[in-house]
């Protein structure tokens, strides 16, 4: 017997946290009975489990690296009919979903999978997998501005964690700068809000790295499967940052 949210995540329905939302909103049935209790358990081998009336099954695990274009929603569907990331994955038979999200106006590296445990490992707040962005801004931020960003910026939802910030490119002719930022949190629109806080709003934003993964020349709108080594490196990176955080918070 296993908890329902774990079963749904392992079946590729959604991440564990999203599966919990499905349960509490009454979208999950076990043997014809709607279940809303997050503590409920089931036997995936013998019980009939449905989400929105559709029986779940065990799918082969899929891990994809996708170069999301600007103007695409990081979701599997959009009520407004806008283009979503899965529109680019017509050849993928399994039901994959994004690990985290990139804003509509942000492009770059996005991971998609049907492995809920893996997705949870990369997005849970206790794991701090680094994400690197290139943010294009008008003008040239002074070094003191970069130091503020590195130390942490006070936003409406609290102080950001220290970040790694540096100049990536300065274009005097266009009067614009590309700033490289590596952050260790997954707050909503975090990089954009950080740059707005120092009076250098972002005109273009691209995520170029997630943990050890790089875009590596992958064209916009294209995807490729992750290698076994890349999956291991991502998992190791998440576990290592968790150990480091635990050691800092609980020194011997």
Q: Which of 78, 103, 157, 166 is catalytic?
A: 103
Q: What H or E segment, with its residue span, contains residue 51?
A: strand 49-51
The pLDDT, as a whole number, for residue 248 is 38
Task: Determine how many CB atoms are found less than 10 A away from the CB of residue 110.
Answer: 22
pLDDT in tens, 177-212: 999 999 998 888 999 999 999 999 999 999 999 999
The pLDDT, as a whole number, for residue 241 is 62
Q: How confident is the model at residue 243 (pLDDT cuts 50, 70, 90)?
A: low
Domains within the chain, CATH numbers bracketed: 2-55 (3.10.290.10), 63-125+214-245 (3.30.70.580), 131-210 (3.30.70.1560)
121 phi, psi to nearest 5 deg: -60, -35
How far, in Å, CA of 75 to CA of 63, rounded?
16
Is residue 113 within 8 A of residue 61, CB to CB? The reply is: yes
The pLDDT, as a whole number, for residue 11 is 82
How far, in Å, CA of 11 to CA of 119, rounded?
13
The pLDDT, as a whole number, for residue 199 is 96
The pLDDT, as a whole number, for residue 60 is 80
The pLDDT, as a whole number, for residue 246 is 44
Mean pLDDT value across residues 53-82: 90
Res 250 pLDDT > 50:
no
CA–CA distances in Å: residue 47 to residues 24, 31, 50, 233 = 19, 6, 10, 35
Mean pLDDT value across residues 70-99: 92
Higher pLDDT among residues 112 and 95, named by residue: 112
How far, in Å, CA of 13 to CA of 1, rounded?
18
Q: How confident is the model at residue 148 (pLDDT cuts 50, 70, 90)?
A: very high
pTM over 0.75: yes
Q: Which residues pair with 134 in a beta bridge?
A: 180, 206
Is 103 assigned a catalytic role?
yes
């Amino acid at each position: 017997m296993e908890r329902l949210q774990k079963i749904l995540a392992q079946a590729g329905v959604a991440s564990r946290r999203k599966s919990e939302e499905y349960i509490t909103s009454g979208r999950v049935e076990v043997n014809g009975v709607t279940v809303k209790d997050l503590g409920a358990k089931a036997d995936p081998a013998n019980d009939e489990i449905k989400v929105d009336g559709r029986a779940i099954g065990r799918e082969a695990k899929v891990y994809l690296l996708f170069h999301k274009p600007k103007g695409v929603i990081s979701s599997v569907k959009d009520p407004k009919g806008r283009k979503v990331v899965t529109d680019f994955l017509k050849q993928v038979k399994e039901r994959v979903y994004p690990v985290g999200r990139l804003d509509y106006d942000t492009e770059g590296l996005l991971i998609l999978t049907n492995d809920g445990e893996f997705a949870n490992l990369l997005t849970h707040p206790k794991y701090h997998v680094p994400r690197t962005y290139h943010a294009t801004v008008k003008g040239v931020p002074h070094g003191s501005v970069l130091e503020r960003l590195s130390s942490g910026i006070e936003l409406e939802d609290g102080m950001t964690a220290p970040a790694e910030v540096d100049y990536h490119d300065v274009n005097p002719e266009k009067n614009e700068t590309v700033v490289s930022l590596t952050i260790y949190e997954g707050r909503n629109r975090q990089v954009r809000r950080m740059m707005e806080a120092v009076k250098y709003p972002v005109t273009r934003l691209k995520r170029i790295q997630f943990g050890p993964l790089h875009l590596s020349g992958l064209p916009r709108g294209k995807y490729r499967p992750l290698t076994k080594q890349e999956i291991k490196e991502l998992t190791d990176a998440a576990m290592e940052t968790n150990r480091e955080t635990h050691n800092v918070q609980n020194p011997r």
